[in-house]
């Protein structure tokens, strides 16, 4: 097994991680500790409020780390334009003072070198960073892409209105007892912002924020109760796999997957998780169970199976995949189309199935598309092999939409020809349906009956989506065994074992090793999968689709196939590939243009 407590049958020959060993977590495991982050607190004085038309007159900055001041930077800047009188009164910076100062083309590179590798901090950062970005454009210098922290935004979340009348720098400097009074000079204002920053960091530290990643995503929308549950992620591994949130009774609340279980679970306790139902789920959760998986495909499949097994109330995806609708060609003397939720083992008796579909509405649209193409009966009553002498035809027969087998106007052999065409549309050739419905779509479009054309378009697309799904799944579902491999990111091979469309095992071979013995071991130890009794695969179709997407991904090589894995040349996938984009983009113009 690939680690964790496996609650679904599965085989993986990857080496399991050590269990039962206590691991002392560190702040480094949780992100970049704030004590190790270098902040450069910057403040600018300018000739006005717009970086498009105004220039910088002064840059002041303070470099701090771990609560200590490391260095300071200050320079006047010649803005290349006159300093307005009210700006000179506000800042005390006059034309005479900046006349001999360096221009921004000289001052900016010196500041960027001072701030290299640091997180930029500013009070109302949008203003200062906007001017610095504009200055980079003016000087022909690339913006380094610093992380930016805005003390105004942070203060809004941790400073109450009863503590400070507003979030101005002067108000916050008084609140936190700054030793420097802001005076609209760049270096003094930057010094005051340093004191405000340290005061704000002390407050968020009391809330358990200890890393840069948590600080940059911090918001008051995350409740203290939600943050306090961060410890649930501490024992989890930095490994790909599946995680299960559980409540105090052990009930599974939510199942998810990730390439890094610990990092993903920690996001549920920060502002990066914005779904309201997840906040409710976290409030109920008391434990998180990890299941480490050898490959991403294994994680995807495990997630599906666990959701189907536990039916967690906070998972939005279908918790009842067994209820998916199918389209059935019934077993009767005169078969008809029917939407069903139960797939029986009656294919050998003449039944045919198409699907599964995403919804009953989609299945009904597919039925309508088939009725457009074939004169198969639409009535639901059972017609005997020998119709009654007094049987009457319905309106559809009068409209030439049905051959009226109920009255004997159409023989059983004649009707069987139509049924054979429907079977072919189910299994291999969708061209008859496509041509018939497209004629109706384009005729309505030419008559500017766009709503009617859209209705027929949607019917055709519903059929193509269901049929392409069925035609892709069926061949793999009939393969008793398929082995495929793909180069792993860290070297070696990801090997996948599939039996009757079900993922029966997976492994990753060591880099440089001969994969043959590992493949042989996987085939010997893989899950024993009985042949499915119905038309579908031995797994839920969504699982088989995930396996198919992996098999069809670049770099995959087939190692062994027992059976026939193919796709029909004139199948629904061919037409869907051509028409699906048109249906998604045409909007109020539902006709399909040739080509």
Query: CA angle 51-107-137, nearest 5°?
Result: 40
198 is catalytic: no
Token pair belonging to 107: 């001052």
**Roughly how many angstroms between the first and final C-alpha of the chain, as a whole number?**
50
Q: Dihedral (C-alpha) 157, 163, 164, 169: value to the nearest 10 degrees? A: -60
**Coil vs helix vs strand at 481:** strand
Residues contacting 158, CB < 8 A, separation 6+: 200, 203, 204, 207, 220
Of the residues 6, 157, 184, 198, which is catalytic?
184
Half-sphere exposure for 440 (CA within 13 Å, toward CB): 21
Total Cβ atoms within 10 A of residue 306 = 23
Q: Using omega within 30 degrees of 0 as the cis cutoff, is the peptide bond preceding 356 cis?
A: yes
Q: Give the E-state strand segments of 151-264 in sequence order.
A: 241-246, 252-258
Residue 531 and residue 538: Cα distance in Å, rounded? 7
Residues 9/527, Cβ–Cβ less than 8 Å: yes
Contact 208, 234 (CB under 8 A): no
Long-range contacts of the stretch 494-497 (C-beta < 8 A, 24+): 494/294, 494/295, 494/297, 495/519, 495/522, 495/559, 496/295, 496/297, 496/547, 496/550, 496/551, 497/11, 497/522, 497/523, 497/526
For the annotated catalytic residues, the residue numbers are 184
């Amino acid at each position: 097994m690939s680690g964790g407590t496996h609650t679904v049958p599965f085989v993986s020959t990857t080496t399991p991680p050590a269990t039962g060993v206590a691991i002392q977590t560190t702040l480094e495991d949780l992100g970049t500790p704030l004590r190790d982050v270098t902040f450069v607190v910057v403040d600018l004085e300018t000739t006005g409020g717009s970086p498009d038309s105004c220039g910088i007159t002064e840059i002041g900055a303070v470099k701090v780390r771990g609560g200590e001041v490391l260095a300071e930077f200050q320079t006047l800047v010649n803005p290349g334009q006159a300093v307005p009188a009210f700006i000179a009164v506000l800042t005390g910076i006059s034309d005479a003072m900046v006349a001999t100062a360096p221009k921004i083309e000289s001052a900016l590179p010196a500041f960027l070198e001072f701030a290299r590798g640091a997180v930029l901090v500013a009070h109302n950062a949008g203003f200062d960073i906007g001017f610095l970005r504009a200055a980079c454009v003016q000087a022909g210098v690339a913006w380094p892409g610093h992380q930016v922290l805005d003390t105004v935004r942070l203060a809004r979340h941790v400073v109450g209105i009863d503590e400070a009348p507003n979030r101005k720098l002067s108000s916050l400097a008084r609140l936190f007892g700054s030793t420097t009074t802001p005076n609209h000079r760049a270096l003094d204002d930057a010094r005051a912002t340093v004191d405000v920053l340290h005061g704000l960091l002390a407050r968020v530290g009391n809330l358990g924020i200890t890393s840069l990643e948590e600080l940059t995503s911090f918001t008051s929308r995350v409740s203290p109760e939600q943050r306090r549950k961060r410890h649930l992620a501490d024992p989890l591994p930095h490994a790909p796999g599946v995680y299960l949130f559980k409540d105090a009774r052990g009930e599974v609340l939510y199942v998810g997957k990730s390439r890094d279980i610990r990092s993903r679970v920690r996001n549920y306790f920060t502002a990066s998780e914005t779904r309201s139902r997840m906040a409710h789920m976290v409030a109920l959760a008391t434990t998180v169970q990890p299941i480490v998986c050898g490959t991403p495909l294994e994680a995807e499949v495990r997630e599906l199976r666990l959701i189907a097994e536990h039916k967690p109330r906070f998972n939005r995806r279908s918790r009842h995949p067994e209820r998916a609708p199918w389209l059935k060609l019934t077993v009767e003397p005169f078969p008809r189309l029917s939407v069903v939720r139960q797939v029986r083992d009656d294919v050998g008796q003449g039944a045919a199935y198409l699907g599964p579909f995403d919804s009953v509405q989609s299945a009904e649209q597919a039925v309508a598309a088939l009725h457009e193409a074939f004169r198969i009966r639409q009535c639901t009553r059972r017609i005997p092999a020998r119709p009654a002498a007094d049987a009457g035809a319905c309106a559809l027969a009068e409209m030439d939409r049905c051959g009226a087998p109920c009255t004997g106007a159409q023989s059983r052999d004649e009707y069987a020809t139509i049924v054979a065409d429907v079977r072919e549309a189910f299994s291999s050739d969708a061209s008859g349906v496509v041509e018939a419905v497209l004629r109706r779509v384009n005729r309505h479009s030419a008559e500017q009956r766009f709503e009617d054309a859209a209705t027929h378009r949607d019917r055709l697309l519903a059929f193509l989506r269901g049929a392409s799904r069925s035609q892709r799944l069926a061949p793999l579902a009939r393969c008793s065994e398929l082995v495929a491999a793909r180069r792993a990111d860290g070297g070696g091979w990801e090997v996948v074992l599939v039996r009757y469309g079900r993922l029966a095992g997976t492994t990753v071979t060591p880099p440089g090793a001969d994969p043959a013995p590992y493949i042989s071991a996987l085939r010997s130890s893989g899950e024993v999968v009985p042949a499915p009794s119905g038309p579908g695969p031995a797994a839920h179709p969504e699982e088989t689709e995930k396996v198919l997407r992996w098999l069809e991904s670049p770099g995959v090589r087939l190692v062994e196939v027992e059976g026939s894995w193919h796709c029909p040349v004139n199948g629904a996938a061919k037409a869907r590939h051509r028409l699906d984009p048109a249906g998604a983009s045409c909007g109020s113009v539902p006709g399909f243009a040739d080509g």
